[in-house]
């Protein structure tokens, strides 16, 4: 409506501009009425960008003719105006009826392009599609109050500033980086699967098996498992049963902050004066924290022993007599008798080689865990007892560490 409300006037202007651009479509000089089935496409701001038409033919003289506009592709979100017109100067009576418009929706439901840190551009969503909030890296966008952050389970991430809004629960493992950083400030190479400890998506694109983790990664795994147990115990004592992994880590981190104690110094927490939200369960919680500390310490010892040592004062040298004695004592204290560290067979002392006499297979051999030929230490810290077959099989290969749970955690 010309002269109506602001919205009505804007709509009128859009059609007026479009029709001025299109102009009259024709006359009836070719023995056909200048009668048409037309369409006009507008974008979402009512800006005209495409039109088309089909003219009635001579077959409609005294009979019916079917007019069709087919395969019109709307390249932009917006509006389509379909109408009929008769522009003949002469008197032609043209009747239209049974007009139908069919919308064939795009097979693409939604498309989003992202800048490296997660801001979207060139986003498209089909008008009739249900809202999908799981966007960047598959995490849910929080739209309430126009917050615009992603829920990364352990904490929230703001793609506008490329920073997390909470401290990383595993910040102690990455002290060279800000506890608020996202993907070590390099989202092209690294990803953050759950808001804790980024993964290298270039050199390590697939999830590792436990046995393929390095020492630091295995210690970190023990840390997270036990921190999860601590958080679960705290949440359960406070009536929050069934809490998630992220909630458990958050609560355990809060607890350690509240008590102003670090995990490594928490061995005697049972008798300490704690500032916990649930003092009646302090002893239970302290026991869990002590377990975290003990297991983390054990992890360092177990993996140091499992992978051996190298580069020390006796690097590349044989074991001394006292070193072999220490290796044997450590083996006996572990198994009760001397046993092969690999196959667990009971060992017998080695004998001096004799011509024509083959040694028994379970004869004791002192082995460098980290091969002597590759700089392994000739010290007890790098020594183990093996039977002859296991020693031959290992040869100068680097040590293989058993799965983490087999070495540190009890089986369920």
Residue 49 parent element (H or E): strand 48-55
Residue 411 has pLDDT above 60, yes or no: no
Residue 269 has pLDDT above 80, yes or no: no
d(CA 93, CA 52): 23
The 48-55 sheet, strands edge to edge: 48-55, 35-43, 78-86
pLDDT reported for residue 3: 64
Question: Where is pLDDT greater, at 220 or 267?
Answer: 220
Residue 30 has pLDDT above 80, yes or no: no
Residue 27 has pLDDT above 90, yes or no: no
Beta-strand ranges (E) seen in 106-155 are 110-114, 120-125, 140-142, 149-151
Supply the pTM of this predicted model: 0.40
Q: Are 399 and 382 in contact (CB under 8 A)?
A: no
The contacts found for 87-95 with CB under 8 angstroms, 24 or more apart, are 87/24, 87/25, 87/26, 87/27, 87/34, 87/35, 87/36, 88/27, 88/28, 88/33, 88/34, 88/35, 89/27, 89/28, 89/34, 90/28, 92/28, 92/33, 92/35, 94/33, 94/35, 94/56, 94/60
- Sign, CA dihedral 256-237-221-135, equals negative
Residue 367 has pLDDT above 70, yes or no: yes
Residue 404 has pLDDT above 50, yes or no: no
Predicted confidence (pLDDT) per residue in 170-206, tens digit: 888 788 889 999 999 999 888 888 888 888 776 655 5
List phi, psi (to 5°) of 302: -60, -45
Give the pLDDT mean for 80-85: 88
Cβ of 159: how many Cβ atoms within 10 Å? 21
Residue of 133, 136, 57, 70 whose CA lies nearest to 104: 70
110, 260, 320, 393, 402 from 372: Cα distances, Å: 59, 45, 13, 16, 21
> What single-letter DSSP state applies at residue 195?
S
Residue 305 has pLDDT above 70, yes or no: no
pLDDT reported for residue 386: 92
pLDDT reported for residue 183: 92
220, 249, 252, 294 from 213: Cα distances, Å: 10, 22, 25, 21
pLDDT reported for residue 278: 43
pLDDT reported for residue 204: 57
> Residues 6 or more apart from 182 whose CB is under 8 A from it?
117, 157, 162, 163, 164, 192, 198
Predicted confidence (pLDDT) per residue in 31-75, tens digit: 778 888 989 999 888 888 988 888 888 877 778 888 888 888 888
Predicted confidence (pLDDT) per residue in 86-144, tens digit: 877 666 678 888 888 888 888 888 889 999 999 999 888 887 888 899 999 999 999 88
Task: Work out the pLDDT band at 216, boundaries 50, 70, 90.
Answer: low
List phi, psi (to 5°) of 218: -70, -40
């Amino acid at each position: 409506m010309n002269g109506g409300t602001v919205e009505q006037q804007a709509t009128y202007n859009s059609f007026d501009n479009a029709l001025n651009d299109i102009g009259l479509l024709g006359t009836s000089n070719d023995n056909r009425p200048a009668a048409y089935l037309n369409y006009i496409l507008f974008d979402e701001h009512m800006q005209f960008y495409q039109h088309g038409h089909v003219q009635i033919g001579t077959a409609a003289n005294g009979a019916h003719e079917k007019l069709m506009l087919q395969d019109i592709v709307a390249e932009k979100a917006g509006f389509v105006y379909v109408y009929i017109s008769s522009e003949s100067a002469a008197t032609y009576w043209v009747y239209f009826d049974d007009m139908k418009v069919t919308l064939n929706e795009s097979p693409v439901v939604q498309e989003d392009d992202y800048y490296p840190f997660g801001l979207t551009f060139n986003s498209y969503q089909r008008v009739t599609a249900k809202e999908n909030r799981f966007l960047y890296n598959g995490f849910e966008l929080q739209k309430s109050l126009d917050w615009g952050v992603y829920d990364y389970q352990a904490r929230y991430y703001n793609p506008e500033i490329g920073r997390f809004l909470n401290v990383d629960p595993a910040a102690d493992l990455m002290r060279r980086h800000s506890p608020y950083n996202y993907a070590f400030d390099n989202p092209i190479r690294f990803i953050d699967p759950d808001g804790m400890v980024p993964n290298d998506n270039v050199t390590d694109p697939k999830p590792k098996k436990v046995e393929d983790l390095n020492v630091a990664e295995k210690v970190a795994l023990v840390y997270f498992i036990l921190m999860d147990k601590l958080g679960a115990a705290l949440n359960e004592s406070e009536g929050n049963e069934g809490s998630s992994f992220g909630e458990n880590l958050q609560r355990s981190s809060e607890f350690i902050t509240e008590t102003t104690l670090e995990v490594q110094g928490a061995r005697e927490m049972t008798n300490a004066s704690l500032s916990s939200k649930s003092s009646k369960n302090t002893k239970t919680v302290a026991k869990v924290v002590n377990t975290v500390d003990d297991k983390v310490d054990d992890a360092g010892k177990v993996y140091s022993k499992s992978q051996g040592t190298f580069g020390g004062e006796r690097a590349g040298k044989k074991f001394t007599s006292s070193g072999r004695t220490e290796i044997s004592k450590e083996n006996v204290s572990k198994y009760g008798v001397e046993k092969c560290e690999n196959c667990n067979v009971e060992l017998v002392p080695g004998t001096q080689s004799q011509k024509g006499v083959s040694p028994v297979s379970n004869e004791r051999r002192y082995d460098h865990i980290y091969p002597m030929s590759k700089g392994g230490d000739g010290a007890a810290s790098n020594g183990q007892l093996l039977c002859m077959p296991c020693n031959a099989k290992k040869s100068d290969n680097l040590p293989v560490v058993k799965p983490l749970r087999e070495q540190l955690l009890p089986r369920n």
